[in-house]
């Protein structure tokens, strides 16, 4: 099987790209909450919640991809996983200049490619400006931020660290 191609974008460029995609598709409400599921559907993504395939993301063609989701995962982790799949789709499949079009993405959580998709997902779900505003407004309360952005408190902590808020 062909190996995925790592994006040559810096992490700062990945974060900027994720925010541009979110803004372009108008997925943010006034508080910065992202409609990840709506974007996923618009892009042609489908979730098969009870499949446990070795490759959890299978891109069939542009605007048609499938995510297999383990049935025991909680909805906030699923939301992040969907955003991460969108990251793979844009960074490693649709990005201009990618010459090799990988169609299968596995669960290699320690790979650089997965790290890039994680950065994309965190930014897509928690855009810097809105996250920073809400972080200050809620005085860094991780539980309230977790509820506002529909993401785990751990993801909130990591995002706050990356933005230099902690």
Please provide the DSSP assignment of 93-114 as one string. Answer: IISTT--S---EE---TTSHHH
Strands of the sheet with 64-68, listed across from one edge:
45-48, 64-68, 57-61, 104-105
**Residue 71 phi, psi (nearest 5):** -70, -20
Nearest to residue 77, comparing CAs of 148, 146, 160? 146
Q: Which two tokens stand for residue 125?
A: 């779900």
Residue 41 lies in a domain: yes
Residue 117 lies in a domain: yes
Residue 47 lies in a domain: yes
Neighbouring CB atoms inside 10 A of 152's CB total: 16
Place of tokens 């993401």: 151
Q: In whole angstroms, what is the distance from residue 98 CA to residue 5 CA?
A: 7
Q: Which two tokens stand for residue 116?
A: 């890039």
pLDDT tens digit at each of 166 positions of the chain: 455 667 889 999 999 999 999 999 999 998 889 999 999 999 998 887 665 555 577 777 778 787 877 666 688 888 898 999 899 888 888 776 655 455 656 655 448 888 999 999 999 999 999 999 999 999 999 999 999 999 999 999 999 999 999 8
pLDDT at 39: 96
Q: Give the total number of structural domains in the chain.
A: 1
Residue 152 lies in a domain: no
Residue 158 lies in a domain: no
Q: In whole angstroms, what is the distance from residue 149 CA to residue 138 CA?
A: 12
Q: Which domain holds residue 71?
A: 11-126
Q: Which two tokens stand for residue 63?
A: 């605007």
Residue 1 lies in a domain: no
CATH number of 97's domain: 1.10.10
Residue 108 to residues 84, 111, 161: CA-CA distances in angstroms? 13, 6, 24
SS3 category, 47:
strand
Place of tokens 């200049």: 97
Residue 80 lies in a domain: yes
pLDDT at 107: 56
Residue 161 lies in a domain: no
């Amino acid at each position: 099987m062909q190996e995925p191609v790592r994006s040559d974008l810096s992490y700062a460029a990945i974060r900027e790209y994720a925010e541009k995609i979110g803004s372009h598709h108008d997925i943010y409400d006034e508080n910065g909450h992202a409609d990840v599921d709506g974007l996923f559907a618009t892009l042609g993504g489908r979730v098969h919640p009870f499949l446990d395939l070795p490759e959890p993301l299978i891109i069939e063609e542009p605007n048609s991809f499938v995510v297999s989701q383990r049935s025991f995962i909680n909805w906030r982790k699923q939301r992040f996983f969907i955003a991460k799949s969108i990251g793979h789709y844009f960074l490693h499949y649709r990005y201009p200049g990618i010459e090799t079009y990988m169609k299968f993405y596995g669960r290699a959580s320690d790979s650089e490619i997965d790290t890039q998709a994680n950065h994309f997902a965190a930014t897509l779900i928690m855009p810097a400006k809105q996250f920073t505003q809400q972080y200050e407004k809620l005085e860094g309360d991780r539980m309230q931020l977790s509820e506002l952005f529909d993401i785990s408190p751990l993801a909130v902590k990591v995002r706050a660290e990356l933005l230099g808020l902690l």
